[in-house]
Amino acid sequence: MTIENIDNHILELLEAFSEKRISTDELKELRAWCDADDEHKAIAREIIECVFTMKVISHRNDFDTKSAFKRFMSHVESTEKSEPKAQNDEAFGMTSNGVSRRKTWRWVAVAASIVLVFGLMSYVFHRLNSEISETADVVLRVPNGSQLSVTMSDGTKVLLNSGSVMSYSPDYGIKDREITLQGEGYFVVAHDEEKPFTIHTNDVTVRDIGTEFHIRNYKEDEHARVNLVEGSVALRSDVKKSGREVLLKKGQKADVDKRTGVIEKAQLTQKKEKVIAMQTLDEIAFDDTSLENIAKELSRSYGVQIKVSDDALQKRFYGTFSRRNNSVEEILETIASTRQMKYKKENGEYLLY
């Protein structure tokens, strides 16, 4: 199947989906069309990838794709106007400016390729937060010392914390609503009974049942944590592949031991629930945490370099801080006040000993 064979209405739905202005009923119609035939899915994915390529590369390169594409289309339109025009434009899927919607989508593919070529070098050297992997997945990377807010095509809102990586398929919302996460995020999920929202991490899978929740699972964490603010989620440990799910309800939390796979449920305190519900991912908490992992947490949160001497690596500390209200030096000064460690700053780098 080619673009020329697609009904004009479907092209309009794909356009609306790409621009995040598709309605619930239109999304159901588009999903039904994609589910009816594998070729439909393939060509829908191809079109969405083309549009996404243009948006992603322009996002971090100060490259005005919209203006460039408008100029490019103006050239296309002038070319089209020089050709014989059909008597009934609407019958042949013409847009209001006289350009065939099918030809427009072909030009989108061409324009995306052009943007890809001219944006590639800047794309690589600026270490983009967004990229297209070899499998065409969308990958969002959050630099240390930063946070990233994202609204998905289905209306789901995501706040990712420092050092987090989230990936999903370009046809997210059509084929499924599955993402992969390494790190920490706060999710306000748009409910969809037909396609539940699912988060995969290395050790835990969380399936949404109409929810607002926080999840954390950095590589160095000994436990994966889920804190539920609204709705309910089904939580499964993937450490032992038992397949058993644990249901969390509003105001509950779960800690998953990443060595044993054991899930412990508990009730959130009102204070903790309020902090989480602020959706800022602002809290930095240490609970019998080794100085080695404290250094990693602070490096990630503040975007600074911190090293720990070998004899201090396993010293453990408690404390709760605010990233917005406490500087990294204030936190280090508080820990040093226990007289269990000292710190100094040399050549822009902190040493804990």
If asked whether residues 271 and 299 sit together in one domain, one would say no
Q: CA-CA distance, 149 to 145, in Å (whole number)?
A: 14
pLDDT value of position 27? 83
> 3-state class of 225 per DSSP?
strand
pLDDT value of position 89? 40
If asked whether residues 37 and 110 sit together in one domain, one would say yes
What is the span of the domain harbouring residue 298? 283-352
- Please say whether the beta carbons of 226 and 237 come within 8 A: no
Within a domain: residue 132? no
Element (H, E) at 329: helix 328-336
If asked whether residues 75 and 156 sit together in one domain, one would say no
How far out from the chain centre does Cα 176 lie?
Answer: 15
The last residue of one of the domains, among 81, 103, 126, is 126
pLDDT value of position 227? 92
Element (H, E) at 265: strand 263-267
If asked whether residues 162 and 270 sit together in one domain, one would say yes
Q: Looking at residue 335, which CATH number applies to its domain?
A: 3.55.50.30
pLDDT value of position 1? 57
Query: How does pLDDT run along the chain (353 residues), one tens digit per residue?
Result: 555 567 778 888 877 777 667 888 888 888 888 888 877 877 777 666 665 554 544 444 444 444 444 444 444 444 445 444 444 444 334 444 444 555 555 545 544 444 444 444 334 334 444 444 444 688 999 999 999 998 898 889 999 999 999 999 888 888 889 999 999 999 999 888 888 899 999 999 998 866 889 999 999 898 999 999 888 899 999 887 767 889 999 999 999 999 998 999 999 888 787 778 777 788 898 989 999 999 999 999 999 999 999 999 999 999 999 998 999 999 999 999 999 999 999 988 999 99
Q: What is the pTM of this model?
A: 0.64
If asked whether residues 305 and 228 sit together in one domain, one would say no
Within a domain: residue 33? yes
Give 96-128 pLDDT, tens digit per residue. 444 455 555 554 554 444 444 444 433 433 444
Within a domain: residue 131? no
Element (H, E) at 336: helix 328-336
- Please say whether the beta carbons of 261 and 204 come within 8 A: no
The last residue of one of the domains, among 260, 277, 294, is 277
If asked whether residues 93 and 214 sit together in one domain, one would say no
Q: CA-CA distance, 150 to 132, in Å (whole number)?
A: 16
- Please report, for residues 130, 335, 336, the alpha-carbon distance to residue 339 in angstroms, rounded to integers and kept in the order given: 43, 8, 5
Q: CA-CA distance, 215 to 152, in Å (whole number)?
A: 17
Token pair 């992969």 is found at: 180
- Overall domain count for the chain: 3
If asked whether residues 81 and 210 sit together in one domain, one would say no
If asked whether residues 106 and 35 sit together in one domain, one would say yes
pLDDT value of position 162? 93
The last residue of one of the domains, among 277, 306, 340, is 277
If asked whether residues 186 and 290 sit together in one domain, one would say no
